[in-house]
Amino acid sequence: MTFLIEILSWFLIASGSIMLIIGALGIVRLPDVYARMHAAGIIDTMGTGAVLLGLTFQAGFTIVSIKLVLIVIFIMFTSPTATHALARASLHGGVTPQVEKNVSNISDQDQGANQ
């Protein structure tokens, strides 16, 4: 049974680390403030949550695991709320989302190809 807990623990730690790396690349590579905030929200919520749950399984049933679970619950509530508040503040501050400019041209080309 301990072997399965070790495998689950290391799987959660590894997958959370991969999510954190992908999210960090998203922050660097994404073009828009809102898209970057989305990547940061995913990093906080999913990546950190998976790493902390993996550490919880490593710790066993101790006071440390209870503290880690409380931290995960705290992150699950505060991270999306903070991301939403930042997005609303940037929208009210005048930052406009980046949208595709040639969407109408693409739809016109699709209609011409179907005829």
Q: Give the per-residue pLDDT at 26.
A: 87
**Residue 10 is part of which domain span?**
2-93
Q: Looking at the domain assignment, is residue 27 inside a domain?
A: yes
Which residues in the chain land under pLDDT 70? Answer: 100-115
Can you give the pTM of this predicted structure? 0.76
Q: Looking at the domain assignment, is residue 14 inside a domain?
A: yes
Q: Give the per-residue pLDDT at 56.
A: 94
Q: Looking at the domain assignment, is residue 108 inside a domain?
A: no
Q: Looking at the domain assignment, is residue 109 inside a domain?
A: no
* Total structural domains within the chain: 1
Q: Give the per-residue pLDDT at 42.
A: 83
Q: Looking at the domain assignment, is residue 110 inside a domain?
A: no
* Angle in degrees, 0-180, between the axes of helices 63-92 and 48-59, rounded to the nearest 10: 170
Q: Give the per-residue pLDDT at 43.
A: 84
Q: Give the per-residue pLDDT at 18.
A: 94
Q: Looking at the domain assignment, is residue 111 inside a domain?
A: no
